[in-house]
Amino acid sequence: MSTTRLHVRHETRYDYEARVAYSVQRLHLTPSAFASQRVEQWAISAPGIDTALVYTDGFGNRVHVTTVMDFTGPVTIVAEGVVHSTDASGIVKGLISAAPDAVYLRQTKATQPSAAMKAMAERVSAKRANPLETLHLLMAGIHEHVTYELGTTHAHTTAAEAYADGRGVCQDHAHIFAGTRGRWIFRPGT
């Protein structure tokens, strides 16, 4: 397997019209290291980063909490570094997470599947592919049914709504995928 060396730079800028008395930022800007990803070098530049509270959340994400008092003008936050990535066909191995697997298998309002979504998942699972191939077929089926189109959904659009409309963005594809995997494709022991 070949490894790709990626230079990543992410910048966020906040412009304020008035003086800010107090600001708290929780930054989720550090990539994780696991079997197919290695972080060579990484840095975050932000007001208050030198005194930030740093912790790992229940999902294994490194979090920086910065506080800044009494400031004006724009605030720029830059996360930048080099990451080595190996294609693992969408499988993440070796990622440390304190959250039990059941956290990732539960349904939420955003991911609750409709009858049409369940039917699509059943059609995919009927192909009797191995679990990884089944998940790839599921992703392809979602992509085929839900056209990526900016501005067609919002933060509160559910997977069922986006699937029924046939249009959405990346969060809708992710919600549909999360809602249609699990008990509709995999049975205990698979």
Query: CA 97, 99, 104, 108 torsion: positive or negative?
Result: negative
What type of residue is 70? D
Total-model pTM? 0.68
> Does some domain include residue 189?
no
Q: Are residues 38 and 73 in the same domain?
A: yes
Distance CA 163, CA 176 (A): 7
- Distance from chain centroid for Cα 35: 18
Distance CA 123, CA 116 (A): 11
Q: Are residues 94 and 176 in the same domain?
A: no
The predicted-structure confidence for 76-107, as pLDDT tens digits, reads as follows: 999 999 999 999 887 888 888 777 877 777 88
The predicted-structure confidence for 1-40, as pLDDT tens digits, reads as follows: 688 999 999 999 999 989 999 999 999 999 999 999 999 9
What local confidence, expressed as pLDDT, does residue 182 receive? 56
Greater confidence (94 vs 45) lies with 45
* Structural domain span for residue 175: 106-184
Residue where the block lists tokens 């229940």: 58
What type of residue is 84? H
Last residue of a domain, one of 99, 125, 148: 99
Q: Across the chain, what does the average pLDDT equal?
A: 90
The predicted-structure confidence for 112-149, as pLDDT tens digits, reads as follows: 999 999 999 999 888 877 888 888 899 999 999 999 99
Tokens encoding 146: 């839900």
> Does some domain include residue 92?
yes
> Does some domain include residue 71?
yes
Contacts of 106 (CB under 8 A, 6+ apart): none
The total number of structural domains in the chain stands at: 2
